[in-house]
């Protein structure tokens, strides 16, 4: 499964404005709520519950907030970019700039882990991360993801 096949253009946000973790999660969840019809507050609650288990700020300027939802038919993936960076309680203590948001149905653990692994793999490429940080539009980000994802 390729990332580009499951990411929605409407969930690609290139200018996140929030300055804290909860605000970022609220911003990232808005387009997902619109697409899925799932209550925005419920989405944020699921993400915050997951964050309480341990931060999804994996370091290197990257956060991969994720959660499972009973009312979801298929997985949904979003992307967010914070030019200024946010304290996302990352493992390395540094600001987080690049966010991949993932929601999967409750019963899809294998798919959930497979997509998390694929996202982590493409984000090991420093040139790719730099290109994402410089991107100015959702189309540009989608093009970058498509090109990088084809390498695997």
Long-range contacts of 109-113 (CB under 8 A, 24+ apart): 111/1, 111/75, 112/66, 112/68, 112/75
> Is this structure's pTM higher than 0.75?
yes
Q: What per-residue confidence (pLDDT) applies to 152?
A: 60
Mean pLDDT (whole number) for 104-117? 85
The residues carrying an active-site annotation are 66
Pairing of strands 57-59, 62-63: antiparallel
Average pLDDT over residues 131-146: 96
Average pLDDT over residues 108-137: 91
The tens digit of pLDDT for each residue in 62-83 reads 999 999 998 888 899 999 999 9
The full set of domain ranges for the chain reads: 3-149
Flag the least confident range among 14-18, 37-41, 68-72.
68-72
- Has residue 151 got a pLDDT over 80? no
Residue pair 135/141 in contact by the 8 Å Cβ criterion: yes
Q: For domain 3-149, which CATH number applies: 3.40.50.1100, 3.40.930.10, 3.40.640.10, 1.10.3720.10?
A: 3.40.930.10
């Amino acid at each position: 499964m390729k990332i580009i096949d499951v990411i929605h253009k409407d969930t690609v946000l290139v200018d996140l404005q929030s300055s804290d973790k909860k605000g970022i999660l609220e911003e990232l969840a808005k387009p997902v709520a619109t697409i899925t019809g799932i209550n925005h507050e419920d989405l944020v609650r699921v993400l915050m519950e997951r964050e309480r288990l341990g931060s999804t700020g994996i370091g290197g300027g990257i956060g991969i907030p994720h959660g499972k939802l009973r009312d979801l038919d298929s997985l949904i993936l979003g992307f967010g970019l914070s030019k200024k960076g946010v304290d996302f309680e990352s493992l390395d203590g540094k600001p987080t700039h690049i966010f991949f948001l993932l929601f999967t149905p409750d019963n899809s653990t294998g798919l959930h882990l497979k997509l998390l692994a694929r996202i982590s793999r493409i984000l090991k490429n420093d040139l790719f991360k730099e290109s994402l940080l410089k991107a100015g539009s959702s189309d540009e980000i989608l093009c970058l993801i498509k090109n990088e994802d084809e390498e695997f």
